[in-house]
Each structure stands twice: as C-alpha cells, then as structure tokens.
Amino acid sequence: MGNNSNWHGTTIILIRKDNDVVVAGDGQVSFGNTVLKSTAKKVRKIEKRNVIAGFAGSTADALTLFERLEAKLEKHAGNLTRASVELAKDWRTDKYLRRLEALMAIADKEKSFIISGTGDVLEPEGGIIGIGSGGNYALAAAKVLIETKMSAEEIARKSIKVASEICVFTNNNITLEKI
C-alpha cells in the first residue's frame, strides 16, 4: 500500500484457465500488527456484465472503485478494455479518487487487467494476476499449479492458502467469484 501506511489488506489472485476465469481473495485487514477484520469481502461480481474484480486496499475504497467500474461498464456497453482505461484515467485525475491507494484485478471472459491509481492498465501474460500484501506468494504458487490438472478455482484457493501460510497480512478466509 502506501510508503508510510500501516494498513495492509488482502491478497487477490486472478486465474484464467481452460474456459474459467476466477478471482479469489482473503479476508484480512490489518493495521500495523493488529488484525482489524478477518472477513472483509474484496471480491465482487458484476452479474449484468459478467465481470469479476478483486481489490487490494481498504474496503471503503474498494466499494467506491467497484461502483465506478460498474458505471464505466454501463457507459461503454460492457467493453472492459474501454471501461478499465476510463476508470484508470479518472482514478489518476479525480481529486477524491487520487487519494485511494490500491490495486484492482478485473476480468471478463476475454481479458484480464490490473488497474492502479497511477493510471496504469496492465494486461498480464499467462492469465494470472496476483496483487496485495501476499500477491507475490499467491502468484508464485499459481504459476506452478497452472501446469497441473487442477481447475482455475482449485488453483485460486490453493494459492491464497499458500500465501496465508507465508504472509502475516493474509488469512485463509477465501471469497471467490467465477465466470
């Protein structure tokens, strides 16, 4: 999160395998060494547009950004690429949004993106995204597991579990959405 921030929250993994796309996140929110909440829900599905998103950052910021993403998807008739670019632009320039320190992992059936408050919209290689405090651990686990016969959902769950065993800011209360 921020350089001088004591907030830590959430490990998110997004897996694209076979014909499934899954985003999973843990539920921990910490401040310094204290766990404030163990069941935060930082993974959402926008049913109407068949889009899933996971968010690393504070819960209030997550809700704000999910709402903005939903509005952008409506405005751009469900075009995820266009909605992502527009959201990143707003995030970088809007006075209120600019203060939100976070990352989002979003996907539809065709594409996956990481969106940041600095205006970046990145399309990762290999169909795997890991963000948040334990994101690198979950990403490493997923990169190994993607070559197995495990499903996208099994890989996502196992990757969060691995991250929770290494990263003190990650727990094993998993929220998962699939399209």
- CATH, residue 67: 3.60.20.10
Is residue 175 a part of any domain in this protein?
no
Is residue 176 a part of any domain in this protein?
no
List alpha helices for the chain, DSSP H.
59-75, 80-93, 135-145, 152-166
Cα–Cα distance for residue pair 14/154, rounded to 1 Å = 12
Is residue 61 a part of any domain in this protein?
yes
**pLDDT tens-digit profile of 13-64?**
999 999 999 999 987 776 666 776 666 778 999 988 999 999 987 777 888 8
pLDDT tier for residue 115 given thresholds of 50, 70 and 90: very high
Q: Residue 32's pLDDT is what?
A: 66
Is residue 95 a part of any domain in this protein?
yes
Is residue 2 a part of any domain in this protein?
no
For residue 104, what are the domain limits? 7-170
- Give the total number of structural domains in the chain: 1
Is residue 178 a part of any domain in this protein?
no
Cα–Cα distance for residue pair 45/43, rounded to 1 Å = 7
36 phi and psi, to 5 degrees? -85, -35
Structure-derived torsion over alpha carbons of residues 63, 64, 67, 68, reported in degrees to the nearest 10 = -150
Most confident of 2-11, 14-23, 118-127: 14-23
Is residue 161 a part of any domain in this protein?
yes
pLDDT over 90 percentage in the chain: 58
121 phi and psi, to 5 degrees? -130, 105
Which residues are tagged catalytic?
10
Is residue 140 a part of any domain in this protein?
yes
